[in-house]
């Protein structure tokens, strides 16, 4: 995971801005293998158009925006505002020139987000607007018939999408730390012949039947997904792309 470098952070902090001086970085963008936190001064124009937050990047932030436009996966660029994740968005035709159009679901949310990015409101007001929203699901959850384990990103020692040498299918190879490895060994030992559900962002992607106890904390996920889907899931498991929040009861 890459954060904005100290040199770039100093550059952005020193850029001219019409907004009051702020130390917050309310906008977070992510693609597989990379994440960037953007301050208000990273943008020269901030606006709300219908349900979209519209941002024009300052010259100092423009290279990052161009890189993200070029490297965006099929699933889109993840976005979080004041710590609240929203569904990934697709880079538009003008993103390479510095314009980002980010759908946020409704006009009021877009207006409040624009106020935050323009320095007219703080994250507390944005959080108050979203305070009743359900939390986003965790990246990876393992569930046996008797227990469930929500996996923290720091418990994933390694993760790599690949191809099964036996079937040619796309798989995800995972190695876990000692606590989760011990849980897997106990649960697979107690539930031979039963299923273990593996969920990414709250969605069950596979539920294999346990054949033998699994020791050592190394597993493979098979789910009939494509290489791009596997790479996106790996990024979500690591927390590089946040899970989209579940739909609100009103939707």
Q: Look up the CATH number of the domain holding residue 184.
A: 3.30.1360.200
- State pTM to two decimals: 0.49
Q: In what order do the strands lie in the sheet with 34-38?
A: 34-38, 27-31, 77-81, 84-89
**87 plus 144 within the same structural domain:** no
> Which is nearest to 172 in space by CA: 157, 180, 162, 158?
162
The whole-angstrom separation of Cα 85 and Cα 131 is 13
**pLDDT of amino acid 243:** 77
> Which is nearest to 147 in space by CA: 179, 187, 185, 181?
187
DSSP-assigned beta bridge partners for residue 173: 160, 220
**In the predicted model, what is the mean pLDDT of residues 25-39?**
86
**pLDDT of amino acid 130:** 60
Of 108, 130, 152, which closes a domain? Answer: 130
pLDDT tier, 187 (very low <50, low <70, confident <90, very high otherwise): very high
Number of domains in the chain: 2
**96 plus 209 within the same structural domain:** no
- Stretch among 41-50, 56-65, 129-138, 201-210 having the lowest mean pLDDT: 129-138
**pLDDT of amino acid 24:** 63
The whole-angstrom separation of Cα 90 and Cα 99 is 12
**pLDDT of amino acid 112:** 92
> Is 150 domain-assigned?
yes
**13 plus 50 within the same structural domain:** yes
Range of the domain at 219: 140-237
> Is 230 domain-assigned?
yes
Tokens in use for 44?
């020269």
**pLDDT of amino acid 150:** 85
**166 plus 115 within the same structural domain:** no
**59 plus 20 within the same structural domain:** yes
**25 plus 83 within the same structural domain:** yes
**20 plus 125 within the same structural domain:** yes
The DSSP letter of residue 97 is: G
Burial of 98 (0-12, 13-18, 19+ CB in 10 A): buried
Are residues 145 and 186 in contact, defined by beta-carbon separation less than 8 angstroms? no
210-227 pLDDT, tens digit each: 999 999 999 999 888 899
169 or 248, greater pLDDT: 169
At residue 47, does pLDDT exceed 90? yes
> Is 250 domain-assigned?
no
């Amino acid at each position: 995971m890459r954060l904005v470098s100290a040199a770039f952070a100093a550059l952005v902090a020193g850029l001219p801005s019409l907004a009051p001086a702020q130390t917050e970085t309310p906008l977070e963008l992510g693609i597989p293998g990379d994440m960037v936190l953007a301050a208000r001064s990273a943008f020269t124009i901030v606006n709300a158009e219908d349900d979209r937050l519209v941002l024009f990047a300052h010259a100092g932030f423009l290279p990052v925006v161009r890189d993200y436009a070029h490297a965006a996966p099929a699933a889109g660029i993840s976005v979080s505002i004041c710590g609240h994740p929203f569904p990934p968005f697709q880079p538009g035709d003008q993103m390479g020139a510095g314009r980002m159009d980010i759908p946020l679901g409704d006009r009021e949310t877009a207006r409040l987000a624009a106020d935050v990015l323009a320095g007219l409101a703080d994250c507390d007001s944005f959080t108050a607007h979203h305070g009743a929203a359900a939390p986003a699901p965790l990246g990876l959850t393992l569930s046996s018939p008797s227990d469930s384990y929500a996996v923290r990103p720091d418990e994933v020692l390694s993760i790599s999408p690949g191809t099964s040498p036996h079937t040619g299918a796309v798989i995800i190879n995972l190695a876990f730390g000692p606590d989760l490895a011990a849980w897997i060994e106990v649960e697979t030992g107690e539930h031979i012949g039963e299923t273990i559900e593996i969920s990414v962002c709250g969605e069950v992607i596979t539920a294999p039947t346990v054949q033998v106890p699994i020791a050592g904390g190394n597993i493979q996920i098979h789910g009939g997904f494509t290489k791009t889907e596997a790479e996106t899931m790996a990024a979500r498991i690591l927390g590089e792309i946040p899970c989209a929040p579940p739909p609100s009861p009103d939707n």
